[in-house]
């Protein structure tokens, strides 16, 4: 444990002994000059600025682009640890995809009474328009991010599932590129699993997910809401790395029953659209009629099998935090297996008894909106003031269905580099998963997000968190 009583991934339970995965790194760090490392930290910031790795914060009155802080101390996982995690992730993502197909078709899980009917039918992320629609290869979740936290040497929990439009993969790739550029000697000494092939794997996975009647080399494009979106850097980054067109709604229209993009030679049909636009804004004719970000009629083409949309419309229900509490049951129902990865115990505030418990113990719990993301709309009880707790109680009583609550976990720490040397900070991990009709690919490691403030449990970049390179050692 570190000095605060949390499990430290570098220094283990006693806070002094270096764990095996970090041994080579620790030996290297001890031999390094602190002045050189401080220069390297500044160099990393300069590289990120030159590359333009920024994000926008919603609700920021200044609307300034911010640099995501990057820490030069890697987060290191052993090959054994990763093998177990990837097995659990594969099981979970497969079950989520089966669940999505079921609720939009036969709804066997509802008929079996394993999931409350109203949790689906009254869920704002459930799209009745998707009932009976058959995505190519039965794939709904083409790109998934699974948020993991650690509380001990062998204790991992899934914190959230991100099956709608998960972001952050560009930061994972740029973090690795920066570390390779600044510390090549570390990669010569450590057998770190490579991740640079992610864009190629994403392109291949999307190609394999094209409608069955499409010939070889399907045309793929990435739909972005535009430059003002918080993740626009990532959209342009991925389009460039995959060698596909980055398009906005005004670049697309339905032509002869196909979705086509404007080019210098006229309109060219698209076979696969990797969309980073939420369901509600995807098609003003079928969803929000005021949307300026979508393509009129695209859902009709999709429903007829004329295009693959990744991720499929309606996948957002798998991100619902009330649905999350049933994921262990969902895994058992569709796989016949016990979950490999644990869920965090969850109280659904829609339940009267659970709501009462949450209200009485709010100062000890973390409360989240069922459709929330990015750290917005949540309450961390132990860090809240009495006034904030009372205000949140009013929210809970007014809209109990909108919230779930969880215990405050003792998240593991990983050292960050500070002027005074290494200091422990809390982290989470978002591995990225690619699903095609043929297979499931999991990138070794993922995006480690770190709470840069001492004692803080909030790792989101929008809330002041930073990122680290994540190493998986090849055994």
> Based on the number of CB atoms within 10 Å of its own CB, is 243 exposed (0-12), middle (13-18) or buried (19 or more)?
exposed
Q: How far apart are CA 378 and CA 376, in angstroms?
A: 6
Mean pLDDT estimate for the chain: 92
Half-sphere exposure of 58 (CA within 13 A, CB side): 9
pLDDT (tens digit, 9 = 90+) per residue, 76-108? 999 999 999 999 999 999 999 999 999 999 999
Mean pLDDT of 181-209: 97
Q: Residue 375 has what pLDDT?
A: 59
Q: Residue 184 has what pLDDT?
A: 96
Mean pLDDT of 250-269: 94
Q: How far apart are CA 303 and CA 136, in angstroms?
A: 10
Q: For strands 252-255 and 258-263, give the pairing.
A: antiparallel
Please determine, for residue 64, whether its predicted confidence score (pLDDT) is greater than 90.
Answer: no
- Element housing 54 (H / E): strand 54-56
Q: Which residues, 6+ apart, have CB-to-CB distance to 57 below 8 Å?
A: 66, 230, 462
Q: Residue 55 has what pLDDT?
A: 56
pLDDT (tens digit, 9 = 90+) per residue, 360-417? 999 999 999 887 665 567 898 888 999 999 999 999 999 999 999 999 888 999 999 9
Please determine, for residue 130, whether its predicted confidence score (pLDDT) is greater than 90.
Answer: yes
Q: Residue 376 has what pLDDT?
A: 66
All structural domains of the chain, each given as residue ranges with its CATH number in brackets, are 20-344+409-472 (no CATH), 345-408 (3.30.1490.270)
Q: Taking the model in full, what pTM does it have?
A: 0.92
pLDDT tier at 2, thresholds 50, 70, 90: very low
Q: Which of 184, 89, 93, 403 is nearest to 394 (CA)?
A: 403
pLDDT tier at 4, thresholds 50, 70, 90: low
Q: Extract the tokens encoding 350.
A: 């829609």
Mean pLDDT of 57-86: 81
Q: Residue 23 has what pLDDT?
A: 96
Half-sphere exposure of 449 (CA within 13 A, CB side): 26
Please determine, for residue 57, whether its predicted confidence score (pLDDT) is greater than 60.
Answer: no
Please determine, for residue 133, whether its predicted confidence score (pLDDT) is greater than 70.
Answer: yes
């Amino acid at each position: 444990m570190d000095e605060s009583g949390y499990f430290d991934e570098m220094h283990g339970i006693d806070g002094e002994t270096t764990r095996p995965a970090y041994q080579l790194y620790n030996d290297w760090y001890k031999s390094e000059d602190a002045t050189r490392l401080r220069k390297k930290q500044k160099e990393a910031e300069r590289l990120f600025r030159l590359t333009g790795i920024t994000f926008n914060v919603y609700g920021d009155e200044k609307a300034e682009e911010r640099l995501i802080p990057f820490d030069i101390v890697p987060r290191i996982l052993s090959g054994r640890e990763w093998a177990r995690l990837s097995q659990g992730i594969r099981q979970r993502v497969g079950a989520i995809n089966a669940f999505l197909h079921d609720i939009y078709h036969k709804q066997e899980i509802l008929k079996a009474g394993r999931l409350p009917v109203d949790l689906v039918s009254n869920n704002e992320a459930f799209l009745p328009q998707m009932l009976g629609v058959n995505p190519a290869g039965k794939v709904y979740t083409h790109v998934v991010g699974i948020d993991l936290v650690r509380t001990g040497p062998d204790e991992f929990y899934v914190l959230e599932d991100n099956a709608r439009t998960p972001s952050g993969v560009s930061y994972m790739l740029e973090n690795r590129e920066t570390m390779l550029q600044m510390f090549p000697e570390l990669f010569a000494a450590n057998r770190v699993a490579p991740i640079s092939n992610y864009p190629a794997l994403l392109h291949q996975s999307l190609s394999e997910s094209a409608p069955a009647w499409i010939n070889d080399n399907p045309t793929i494009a990435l739909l972005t809401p535009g430059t003002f979106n918080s993740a626009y850097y990532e959209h342009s980054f991925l389009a460039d790395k995959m060698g596909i067109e980055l398009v906005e709604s005004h670049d697309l229209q339905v032509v002869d029953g196909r979705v086509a993009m404007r080019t210098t030679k006229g309109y060219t049909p698209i076979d696969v659209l990797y969309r980073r636009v939420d369901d509600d804004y995807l098609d003003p004719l079928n969803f929000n009629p005021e949307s300026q970000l979508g393509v009129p009629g695209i859902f009709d083409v999709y429903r007829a099998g004329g295009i693959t949309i990744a991720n499929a419309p309606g996948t957002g229900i798998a991100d619902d935090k009330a649905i999350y509490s049933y994921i262990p049951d969902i895994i058992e129902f569709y796989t016949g297996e016990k979950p490999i990865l644990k869920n965090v115990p969850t109280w659904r505030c829609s339940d009267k008894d659970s709501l009462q418990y949450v209200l009485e113990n709010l100062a000890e719990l973390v409360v989240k909106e069922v459709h929330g993301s990015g750290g917005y709309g949540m309450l961390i009880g132990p860090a809240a003031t009495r006034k904030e707790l009372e205000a949140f109680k009013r929210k809970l009583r007014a809209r109990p269905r909108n919230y779930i609550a969880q215990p405050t976990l003792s998240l593991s720490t990983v050292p960050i580099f500070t002027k005074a040397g290494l200091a422990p900070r809390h982290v989470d991990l978002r591995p990225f998963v690619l699903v095609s009709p043929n297979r499931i690919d999991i990138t070794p490691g993922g995006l480690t997000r770190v709470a840069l403030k001492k004692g803080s449990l909030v790792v989101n970049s929008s809330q002041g968190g930073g990122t680290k390179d994540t190493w998986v050692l090849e055994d």
